[in-house]
Amino acid sequence: MSSPHIAVYGATGHTGRLAAAELRARGRDVILAGRDGAALKALAEEFGGEPGVVVHQATLDDPAALRALAEQAGVLIHCAGPFTHTGEPVARAAVEGGCHYVDHALEQHHTKWIFDTMQEPSRQAGITMITAMSFYGGMGDLLAGAVAEGLTGIDRVISAYAVTGWRLTTGARKTAELLFADTRRITYEDGAQHVRYVEPRNAVFPFPPPLGPRTMIAPVPSSEVVTVPRHVSARRVEAQLTAHTFEEEQAFTSEHADAETRAGSAFTVAVQAVTEGGGAAGQAAGRDLWRLSALASVEAAVRLADGHGPERPGVYAPAEAFPPGPFLRDLERLGLFTLTLPGEAEL
Ligand SMILES: NC(=O)c1ccc[n+]([C@@H]2O[C@H](COP(=O)([O-])OP(=O)(O)OC[C@H]3O[C@@H](n4cnc5c(N)ncnc54)[C@H](OP(=O)(O)O)[C@@H]3O)[C@@H](O)[C@H]2O)c1
Protein backbone atom coordinates (compact mmCIF):
# COMPACT_ATOMS: atom_id res chain seq x y z
CA MET A 1 0.00 0.00 0.00
CA SER A 2 2.99 2.27 -0.31
CA SER A 3 2.25 3.04 -3.97
CA PRO A 4 1.65 6.70 -4.68
CA HIS A 5 -0.64 5.79 -7.57
CA ILE A 6 -4.37 6.19 -7.33
CA ALA A 7 -6.15 3.86 -9.75
CA VAL A 8 -9.41 4.77 -11.44
CA TYR A 9 -11.31 1.70 -12.67
CA GLY A 10 -13.77 2.76 -15.39
CA ALA A 11 -11.53 5.69 -16.29
CA THR A 12 -13.03 5.87 -19.80
CA GLY A 13 -16.50 6.68 -18.43
CA HIS A 14 -17.79 10.16 -17.65
CA THR A 15 -17.26 9.90 -13.90
CA GLY A 16 -13.93 8.13 -14.26
CA ARG A 17 -12.56 10.81 -16.60
CA LEU A 18 -13.59 13.56 -14.20
CA ALA A 19 -11.98 11.74 -11.28
CA ALA A 20 -8.76 11.11 -13.21
CA ALA A 21 -8.61 14.73 -14.39
CA GLU A 22 -9.06 15.97 -10.82
CA LEU A 23 -6.30 13.67 -9.57
CA ARG A 24 -3.95 14.97 -12.27
CA ALA A 25 -4.91 18.55 -11.41
CA ARG A 26 -3.84 17.77 -7.85
CA GLY A 27 -0.53 16.42 -9.12
CA ARG A 28 -1.30 12.79 -8.27
CA ASP A 29 0.04 9.79 -10.16
CA VAL A 30 -2.86 7.97 -11.78
CA ILE A 31 -3.47 4.51 -13.16
CA LEU A 32 -6.17 4.68 -15.83
CA ALA A 33 -7.86 1.28 -15.64
CA GLY A 34 -10.73 -0.49 -17.33
CA ARG A 35 -11.68 -3.13 -19.84
CA ASP A 36 -10.80 -1.38 -23.10
CA GLY A 37 -7.04 -1.06 -23.59
CA ALA A 38 -7.24 1.08 -26.75
CA ALA A 39 -9.67 3.55 -25.15
CA LEU A 40 -7.45 3.77 -22.06
CA LYS A 41 -4.36 4.50 -24.20
CA ALA A 42 -6.24 7.22 -26.06
CA LEU A 43 -7.28 8.73 -22.74
CA ALA A 44 -3.68 8.65 -21.48
CA GLU A 45 -2.68 10.59 -24.60
CA GLU A 46 -5.36 13.17 -23.84
CA PHE A 47 -3.61 13.63 -20.51
CA GLY A 48 -0.43 14.36 -22.45
CA GLY A 49 1.20 10.95 -21.99
CA GLU A 50 2.88 12.23 -18.85
CA PRO A 51 4.97 9.83 -16.75
CA GLY A 52 2.49 10.22 -13.89
CA VAL A 53 -0.20 8.54 -15.99
CA VAL A 54 -0.12 4.80 -16.65
CA VAL A 55 -2.64 2.45 -18.18
CA HIS A 56 -3.82 -0.94 -16.92
CA GLN A 57 -6.29 -3.10 -18.78
CA ALA A 58 -8.29 -5.60 -16.75
CA THR A 59 -11.65 -7.12 -17.57
CA LEU A 60 -14.02 -8.16 -14.80
CA ASP A 61 -13.61 -11.86 -15.61
CA ASP A 62 -9.83 -11.67 -15.16
CA PRO A 63 -9.18 -11.72 -11.39
CA ALA A 64 -5.39 -11.92 -11.87
CA ALA A 65 -5.35 -8.71 -13.94
CA LEU A 66 -7.64 -6.95 -11.44
CA ARG A 67 -5.44 -8.08 -8.58
CA ALA A 68 -2.32 -6.88 -10.40
CA LEU A 69 -4.02 -3.49 -10.71
CA ALA A 70 -4.75 -3.35 -6.99
CA GLU A 71 -1.18 -4.40 -6.18
CA GLN A 72 0.16 -1.39 -8.10
CA ALA A 73 -2.16 1.14 -6.46
CA GLY A 74 -2.38 2.79 -3.05
CA VAL A 75 -6.08 3.49 -3.55
CA LEU A 76 -8.55 2.32 -6.19
CA ILE A 77 -11.57 4.47 -7.12
CA HIS A 78 -14.23 2.25 -8.68
CA CYS A 79 -16.16 4.29 -11.28
CA ALA A 80 -17.50 1.54 -13.58
CA GLY A 81 -21.13 0.61 -13.29
CA PRO A 82 -23.80 -0.65 -12.87
CA PHE A 83 -22.24 -1.91 -9.62
CA THR A 84 -24.78 -4.73 -9.60
CA HIS A 85 -22.53 -6.20 -12.34
CA THR A 86 -19.13 -4.63 -11.67
CA GLY A 87 -19.05 -4.24 -7.88
CA GLU A 88 -17.93 -7.59 -6.55
CA PRO A 89 -14.89 -8.45 -8.71
CA VAL A 90 -13.28 -5.03 -8.25
CA ALA A 91 -13.95 -4.90 -4.51
CA ARG A 92 -12.52 -8.40 -4.07
CA ALA A 93 -9.44 -7.43 -6.08
CA ALA A 94 -8.83 -4.43 -3.80
CA VAL A 95 -8.84 -6.73 -0.77
CA GLU A 96 -6.62 -9.32 -2.43
CA GLY A 97 -4.21 -6.75 -3.81
CA GLY A 98 -4.14 -4.79 -0.53
CA CYS A 99 -5.17 -1.31 -1.70
CA HIS A 100 -7.78 1.05 -0.27
CA TYR A 101 -11.07 1.26 -2.14
CA VAL A 102 -13.66 3.98 -2.82
CA ASP A 103 -16.78 3.47 -4.95
CA HIS A 104 -19.63 5.41 -6.59
CA ALA A 105 -22.34 2.82 -6.03
CA LEU A 106 -25.82 3.88 -5.10
CA GLU A 107 -27.19 0.36 -5.48
CA GLN A 108 -28.59 -0.82 -2.17
CA HIS A 109 -27.76 -4.48 -2.69
CA HIS A 110 -24.12 -3.76 -3.56
CA THR A 111 -23.82 -1.53 -0.50
CA LYS A 112 -25.35 -4.20 1.73
CA TRP A 113 -23.14 -6.87 0.16
CA ILE A 114 -19.95 -4.92 0.75
CA PHE A 115 -20.73 -4.38 4.45
CA ASP A 116 -21.94 -7.97 4.95
CA THR A 117 -19.14 -9.68 3.03
CA MET A 118 -16.04 -7.50 2.91
CA GLN A 119 -15.87 -6.21 6.50
CA GLU A 120 -13.73 -9.02 7.87
CA PRO A 121 -11.53 -9.53 4.77
CA SER A 122 -10.82 -5.79 4.54
CA ARG A 123 -9.80 -5.69 8.20
CA GLN A 124 -7.50 -8.65 7.69
CA ALA A 125 -6.01 -7.01 4.60
CA GLY A 126 -5.53 -3.75 6.51
CA ILE A 127 -7.43 -1.68 3.95
CA THR A 128 -10.22 0.87 4.15
CA MET A 129 -13.22 0.52 1.83
CA ILE A 130 -15.64 3.43 1.45
CA THR A 131 -18.80 2.75 -0.49
CA ALA A 132 -21.34 5.24 -1.96
CA MET A 133 -18.86 8.15 -1.88
CA SER A 134 -20.66 10.04 -4.62
CA PHE A 135 -23.57 12.41 -5.26
CA TYR A 136 -26.62 10.13 -4.91
CA GLY A 137 -26.33 8.21 -1.68
CA GLY A 138 -23.08 9.87 -0.60
CA MET A 139 -24.35 13.42 -0.16
CA GLY A 140 -27.44 12.11 1.65
CA ASP A 141 -25.27 10.03 3.97
CA LEU A 142 -22.85 12.89 4.75
CA LEU A 143 -25.67 15.40 5.35
CA ALA A 144 -27.54 12.90 7.55
CA GLY A 145 -24.40 12.49 9.67
CA ALA A 146 -23.91 16.24 9.99
CA VAL A 147 -27.59 17.05 10.64
CA ALA A 148 -28.17 14.31 13.22
CA GLU A 149 -25.13 15.22 15.31
CA GLY A 150 -26.21 15.68 18.93
CA LEU A 151 -29.86 14.76 18.26
CA THR A 152 -31.60 11.97 20.16
CA GLY A 153 -34.97 10.30 19.65
CA ILE A 154 -34.90 10.63 15.87
CA ASP A 155 -38.07 9.23 14.28
CA ARG A 156 -37.01 9.54 10.64
CA VAL A 157 -34.22 10.75 8.40
CA ILE A 158 -35.34 11.85 4.94
CA SER A 159 -32.77 12.68 2.27
CA ALA A 160 -34.46 14.56 -0.54
CA TYR A 161 -32.79 15.21 -3.89
CA ALA A 162 -34.12 17.98 -6.13
CA VAL A 163 -32.35 17.65 -9.48
CA THR A 164 -32.84 19.38 -12.83
CA GLY A 165 -30.83 18.96 -16.02
CA TRP A 166 -29.59 15.45 -15.16
CA ARG A 167 -28.51 13.90 -18.45
CA LEU A 168 -27.96 10.22 -17.77
CA THR A 169 -24.86 8.51 -19.12
CA THR A 170 -25.00 4.92 -20.36
CA GLY A 171 -23.84 3.68 -16.96
CA ALA A 172 -26.38 5.79 -15.09
CA ARG A 173 -29.24 4.78 -17.42
CA LYS A 174 -28.44 1.09 -16.99
CA THR A 175 -28.20 1.56 -13.24
CA ALA A 176 -31.52 3.43 -13.06
CA GLU A 177 -33.25 0.74 -15.15
CA LEU A 178 -31.95 -2.03 -12.90
CA LEU A 179 -32.95 -0.15 -9.76
CA PHE A 180 -36.48 0.64 -10.88
CA ALA A 181 -37.03 -2.94 -12.08
CA ASP A 182 -35.91 -4.35 -8.74
CA THR A 183 -38.89 -5.80 -6.87
CA ARG A 184 -36.84 -6.68 -3.79
CA ARG A 185 -35.84 -3.30 -2.47
CA ILE A 186 -34.20 -2.57 0.83
CA THR A 187 -36.08 -0.28 3.20
CA TYR A 188 -35.28 0.86 6.74
CA GLU A 189 -38.42 1.02 8.87
CA ASP A 190 -39.23 0.47 12.55
CA GLY A 191 -35.53 0.49 13.30
CA ALA A 192 -34.72 -2.47 11.02
CA GLN A 193 -33.72 -3.31 7.48
CA HIS A 194 -36.36 -5.04 5.33
CA VAL A 195 -36.16 -6.50 1.84
CA ARG A 196 -39.54 -6.31 0.12
CA TYR A 197 -41.62 -5.09 -2.76
CA VAL A 198 -42.08 -1.33 -2.44
CA GLU A 199 -44.88 0.60 -4.09
CA PRO A 200 -43.50 4.10 -4.77
CA ARG A 201 -45.85 6.88 -3.68
CA ASN A 202 -46.01 10.57 -4.47
CA ALA A 203 -44.96 12.59 -1.45
CA VAL A 204 -44.32 16.29 -1.00
CA PHE A 205 -41.00 17.40 0.48
CA PRO A 206 -40.78 20.92 1.92
CA PHE A 207 -37.56 22.24 0.41
CA PRO A 208 -36.68 25.65 1.80
CA PRO A 209 -37.15 28.67 -0.51
CA PRO A 210 -36.49 29.31 -3.32
CA LEU A 211 -37.49 25.72 -4.24
CA GLY A 212 -40.43 25.29 -1.87
CA PRO A 213 -42.55 22.12 -1.63
CA ARG A 214 -41.94 19.60 -4.42
CA THR A 215 -43.61 16.36 -5.50
CA MET A 216 -41.22 13.48 -4.87
CA ILE A 217 -40.79 9.86 -5.89
CA ALA A 218 -40.77 8.22 -2.48
CA PRO A 219 -38.93 6.14 -1.73
CA VAL A 220 -36.30 6.21 -4.45
CA PRO A 221 -33.93 3.22 -4.23
CA SER A 222 -30.66 4.56 -2.85
CA SER A 223 -27.90 3.45 -0.51
CA GLU A 224 -28.83 5.67 2.47
CA VAL A 225 -31.13 2.95 3.83
CA VAL A 226 -28.00 0.83 4.35
CA THR A 227 -25.41 3.46 5.26
CA VAL A 228 -27.26 6.00 7.43
CA PRO A 229 -28.48 3.57 10.14
CA ARG A 230 -24.83 2.62 10.71
CA HIS A 231 -24.15 6.03 12.24
CA VAL A 232 -27.56 7.59 12.98
CA SER A 233 -30.08 5.98 15.29
CA ALA A 234 -33.52 6.50 13.72
CA ARG A 235 -36.73 4.50 13.26
CA ARG A 236 -36.97 5.17 9.52
CA VAL A 237 -34.57 6.23 6.76
CA GLU A 238 -35.81 7.14 3.30
CA ALA A 239 -34.42 8.75 0.14
CA GLN A 240 -36.63 10.74 -2.23
CA LEU A 241 -36.12 12.33 -5.67
CA THR A 242 -38.12 15.10 -7.33
CA ALA A 243 -40.67 13.57 -9.71
CA HIS A 244 -39.85 16.14 -12.40
CA THR A 245 -36.24 14.88 -12.67
CA PHE A 246 -37.27 11.90 -14.79
CA GLU A 247 -40.08 13.82 -16.50
CA GLU A 248 -37.52 16.03 -18.24
CA GLU A 249 -37.51 14.95 -21.85
CA GLN A 250 -33.75 14.63 -22.19
CA ALA A 251 -33.01 12.73 -18.98
CA PHE A 252 -32.97 9.31 -20.65
CA THR A 253 -32.06 10.34 -24.20
CA SER A 254 -28.75 12.14 -23.68
CA GLU A 255 -26.29 9.28 -23.42
CA HIS A 256 -24.04 11.05 -25.93
CA ALA A 257 -24.36 14.53 -24.46
CA ASP A 258 -21.07 16.41 -24.24
CA ALA A 259 -19.37 17.17 -20.94
CA GLU A 260 -20.48 20.80 -21.01
CA THR A 261 -24.16 19.86 -21.32
CA ARG A 262 -23.80 17.36 -18.49
CA ALA A 263 -22.21 20.03 -16.31
CA GLY A 264 -25.49 21.97 -16.49
CA SER A 265 -27.31 19.93 -13.85
CA ALA A 266 -28.56 21.80 -10.78
CA PHE A 267 -29.31 20.23 -7.41
CA THR A 268 -30.44 20.71 -3.87
CA VAL A 269 -29.89 17.84 -1.47
CA ALA A 270 -31.86 18.47 1.71
CA VAL A 271 -31.83 16.18 4.73
CA GLN A 272 -34.30 16.30 7.62
CA ALA A 273 -33.85 14.44 10.89
CA VAL A 274 -37.28 14.55 12.53
CA THR A 275 -37.76 14.13 16.30
CA GLU A 276 -40.89 14.43 18.42
CA GLY A 277 -39.86 17.91 19.47
CA GLY A 278 -38.79 19.12 16.00
CA GLY A 279 -35.39 17.99 14.74
CA ALA A 280 -32.83 19.51 12.42
CA ALA A 281 -32.19 20.00 8.72
CA GLY A 282 -29.35 20.83 6.37
CA GLN A 283 -28.78 21.14 2.66
CA ALA A 284 -26.27 21.47 -0.15
CA ALA A 285 -27.38 23.42 -3.23
CA GLY A 286 -25.30 23.84 -6.36
CA ARG A 287 -24.46 22.72 -9.89
CA ASP A 288 -22.93 19.76 -11.73
CA LEU A 289 -23.70 16.59 -9.82
CA TRP A 290 -21.27 14.60 -12.00
CA ARG A 291 -18.27 16.68 -11.06
CA LEU A 292 -19.35 16.69 -7.43
CA SER A 293 -19.46 12.88 -7.54
CA ALA A 294 -15.92 12.75 -8.90
CA LEU A 295 -14.64 15.33 -6.39
CA ALA A 296 -16.15 13.47 -3.44
CA SER A 297 -14.43 10.23 -4.43
CA VAL A 298 -11.12 11.98 -5.15
CA GLU A 299 -11.25 13.87 -1.84
CA ALA A 300 -11.73 10.55 -0.03
CA ALA A 301 -9.07 8.73 -2.06
CA VAL A 302 -6.45 11.42 -1.51
CA ARG A 303 -7.07 11.35 2.24
CA LEU A 304 -6.67 7.57 2.27
CA ALA A 305 -3.52 7.79 0.15
CA ASP A 306 -2.03 10.35 2.54
CA GLY A 307 -2.84 8.30 5.64
CA HIS A 308 -5.73 10.51 6.79
CA GLY A 309 -8.45 7.86 6.70
CA PRO A 310 -10.19 6.04 9.54
CA GLU A 311 -7.89 4.75 12.26
CA ARG A 312 -8.89 1.14 11.77
CA PRO A 313 -9.29 -0.77 8.50
CA GLY A 314 -12.74 -1.98 7.42
CA VAL A 315 -15.77 -1.00 5.35
CA TYR A 316 -17.20 2.47 5.95
CA ALA A 317 -20.10 4.68 4.93
CA PRO A 318 -18.95 8.18 3.85
CA ALA A 319 -20.02 9.78 7.14
CA GLU A 320 -18.31 7.02 9.14
CA ALA A 321 -15.03 7.39 7.28
CA PHE A 322 -14.66 11.13 7.83
CA PRO A 323 -16.33 13.61 10.22
CA PRO A 324 -19.27 14.58 7.95
CA GLY A 325 -19.57 18.32 8.71
CA PRO A 326 -15.89 19.15 8.11
CA PHE A 327 -15.73 16.82 5.09
CA LEU A 328 -18.74 18.60 3.52
CA ARG A 329 -17.14 21.96 4.28
CA ASP A 330 -13.98 20.88 2.46
CA LEU A 331 -16.08 19.78 -0.51
CA GLU A 332 -17.96 23.09 -0.42
CA ARG A 333 -14.61 24.93 -0.72
CA LEU A 334 -14.12 23.25 -4.11
CA GLY A 335 -16.86 25.56 -5.37
CA LEU A 336 -19.73 23.40 -6.60
CA PHE A 337 -22.31 23.95 -3.85
CA THR A 338 -23.31 26.05 -0.88
CA LEU A 339 -23.79 24.18 2.37
CA THR A 340 -26.25 25.08 5.12
CA LEU A 341 -26.02 23.10 8.35
CA PRO A 342 -28.26 23.27 11.45
CA GLY A 343 -28.03 26.58 13.28
CA GLU A 344 -26.79 28.48 10.22
CA ALA A 345 -30.17 29.46 8.72
CA GLU A 346 -33.85 28.73 9.13
CA LEU A 347 -34.45 25.63 7.00
N1 LIG B 1 -24.06 7.68 -6.88
C2 LIG B 1 -23.90 8.64 -7.77
O3 LIG B 1 -24.32 9.79 -7.62
C4 LIG B 1 -23.10 8.34 -9.00
C5 LIG B 1 -22.45 9.38 -9.67
C6 LIG B 1 -21.71 9.08 -10.81
C7 LIG B 1 -21.65 7.77 -11.27
N8 LIG B 1 -22.31 6.80 -10.58
C9 LIG B 1 -22.29 5.41 -11.05
O10 LIG B 1 -21.04 5.12 -11.63
C11 LIG B 1 -21.20 4.28 -12.75
C12 LIG B 1 -20.53 4.92 -13.97
O13 LIG B 1 -21.22 6.08 -14.30
P14 LIG B 1 -20.76 6.97 -15.54
O15 LIG B 1 -21.71 8.09 -15.57
O16 LIG B 1 -19.31 7.26 -15.47
O17 LIG B 1 -21.09 5.99 -16.75
P18 LIG B 1 -20.43 5.92 -18.20
O19 LIG B 1 -19.97 7.25 -18.65
O20 LIG B 1 -21.43 5.19 -19.04
O21 LIG B 1 -19.14 5.01 -17.97
C22 LIG B 1 -19.26 3.69 -17.55
C23 LIG B 1 -17.88 3.13 -17.30
O24 LIG B 1 -18.02 1.81 -16.75
C25 LIG B 1 -17.29 0.91 -17.59
N26 LIG B 1 -17.97 -0.37 -17.59
C27 LIG B 1 -19.29 -0.61 -17.75
N28 LIG B 1 -19.53 -1.92 -17.70
C29 LIG B 1 -18.34 -2.53 -17.53
C30 LIG B 1 -17.94 -3.87 -17.43
N31 LIG B 1 -18.80 -4.87 -17.51
N32 LIG B 1 -16.63 -4.13 -17.25
C33 LIG B 1 -15.72 -3.12 -17.14
N34 LIG B 1 -16.05 -1.84 -17.26
C35 LIG B 1 -17.35 -1.54 -17.45
C36 LIG B 1 -17.30 1.55 -18.95
O37 LIG B 1 -16.24 1.02 -19.72
P38 LIG B 1 -16.20 1.18 -21.33
O39 LIG B 1 -15.76 2.60 -21.58
O40 LIG B 1 -15.23 0.18 -21.75
O41 LIG B 1 -17.61 0.93 -21.83
C42 LIG B 1 -17.06 3.02 -18.56
O43 LIG B 1 -15.70 3.24 -18.26
C44 LIG B 1 -22.71 4.07 -12.92
O45 LIG B 1 -23.05 2.84 -12.30
C46 LIG B 1 -23.33 5.20 -12.16
O47 LIG B 1 -24.60 4.88 -11.60
C48 LIG B 1 -23.02 7.05 -9.46
Instruction: Give per-residue pLDDT as tens, 267-280.
Output: 999 999 999 999 99
**Rounded to an integer, what distance in angstroms lies between the CA atom of residue 247 and that of residue 251?**
8
Answer yes or no: is pLDDT of 337 > 50: yes
Ligand 1 centroid to 150 CA: how many Å?
37
Ligand 1 centroid to 119 CA: how many Å?
24
Is the same domain home to 312 and 274? no
Q: Is residue 345 part of a domain?
A: no
Q: Is residue 1 part of a domain?
A: no
Is the same domain home to 269 and 301? no
Ligand 1 centroid to 13 CA: how many Å?
6
Q: Is residue 305 part of a domain?
A: yes
Is the same domain home to 332 and 190? yes
Q: Is residue 171 within 6 Å of ligand 1 at its C-beta? A: yes
Is the same domain home to 100 and 167? no
pLDDT for the residue 255: 86
Is the same domain home to 331 and 307? no
pLDDT for the residue 345: 60
Q: Write the CATH number for 71.
A: 3.40.50.720
Is the same domain home to 52 and 183? no
pLDDT over 90 percentage in the chain:
91
Is the same domain home to 330 and 313? no
Instruction: List pLDDT tens digits, range 15-44.
Output: 999 999 999 999 999 999 999 999 999 999
Is the same domain home to 85 and 101? yes
Answer yes or no: is pLDDT of 49 > 90: no
1 falls in which pLDDT band (50, 70, 90)? Answer: very low
Q: Is residue 110 part of a domain?
A: yes
Residue nearest to atom 39 of ligand 1 (CA): 12
Mutate to test the pocket of ligand 1, among 22, 79, 258, 261 (most ligand atoms within 8 A of CB): 79
Q: Is residue 346 part of a domain?
A: no
Q: Which residues contact 284 (CB under 8 A, 6 or more apart)?
A: 139, 143, 267, 268, 269, 328, 332, 337, 338, 339, 340
Q: Write the CATH number for 260.
A: 3.30.360.10
**Rounded to an integer, what distance in angstroms lies between the CA atom of residue 293 and that of residue 172?**
12
Is the same domain home to 163 and 38? no
Ligand 1 centroid to 56 CA: how many Å?
17
Is the same domain home to 145 and 158? yes
Sign of dihedral through CA atoms 307, 309, 310, 314?
Answer: negative
Question: What would the mean pLDDT of 222-251 be, rounded to a whole number?
Answer: 95
* 3-class secondary structure, 72: helix
Q: Is residue 35 part of a domain?
A: yes
Domain span holding position 94: 6-134+294-324
Q: Is residue 76 part of a domain?
A: yes
Is the same domain home to 167 and 260? yes
Is the same domain home to 179 and 85? no
Q: Is residue 172 within 6 Å of ligand 1 at its C-beta? A: yes
Answer yes or no: is pLDDT of 124 > 80: yes
Ligand 1 centroid to 83 CA: how many Å?
8
Q: Domain tally for the chain?
A: 2
CB 222 within 8 A of CB 137: yes
Mutate to test the pocket of ligand 1, among 15, 59, 226, 255 (most ligand atoms within 8 A of CB): 15
